[in-house]
Amino acid sequence: MDNEKPLTLAFSPCPNDTYIFAALANGLLEDAPPIRVHLEDIENLNNSALQGNHELTKISYAVVPDLLDKYTLLRAGGALGHACGPLLVARPGTGKTLADFKDKLIAIPGERTTAFMLLNLAMGARPQTLAMRFDKIIESVAGGTVDAGLIIHESRFTYKESDLVSVADLGEWWEAETKMPVPLGAIMIRNDIAERAGEINDAIRRSLKYARENEKEVMKYVSEHANAMDAVVTRKHIETYVNEYSDDVGKDGMAAVKELFRRAREQGIIPEAEPVFA
């Protein structure tokens, strides 16, 4: 496959993604397709996918209904699970429940993120928001720029260092409501190469297997993109977001995605959409 044109693969620099894709991205797998990597923040990935820019891309489940004319969901490489949902955090004394922030300004990591979809579903209405990069939200809340912040990724492990408190764990809310894992993100394959879905699913699974068996080697790649993240936080991030659903979304995961879409559709957040996994 040395002369094969590389496929473009876009994912975030977060430890769960770099851990899963390290072997594939660095050409460490025999007979795997060559890959050209693009690293972007999740909201940038969502917006880029809407343009069909990359053949393989990580996206938020919330944007999937707008992508089905261009992409198909893959079964491997996604982010679902238990105890891994987004948190709404605030300064102490500013509110104790979601209802307390209904008319206050909330920083969010993007309007197309699953985190924001879950916040809308849990609140039952669209709150007043200010979109920004996920890694800027904690300082904005702590500094008083906004009243609360919707945090994702490693921020769930560090917000207490800024003297913030958790108002609501939207993953816990989702699991209490549905008894299902919370769907966060997925990998999609562009429809013009969808016939290669089986090959790509296999390559992703082999890349994850390689990471689990060669962690010392893979963690070098993870650390390069972790923005000087503390090693303990990096490890917690991987342990939280890399799990059995990373290998395969499974029946439970697919049912959770369908339920997410059903609730969002009933609330008028998304159009009619049927998630299809290849």
* Residues noted as catalytic: 153
CA geometry: angle 40, 108, 51, nearest 5 deg: 40
Angle between helices 250-266 and 114-123 (to 10 degrees): 60
H helices present in 124-275, as ranges: 137-142, 155-158, 170-178, 197-213, 215-224, 231-241, 244-247, 250-266
Residues 6+ apart with CB under 8 A from 166: 87, 88, 89, 159
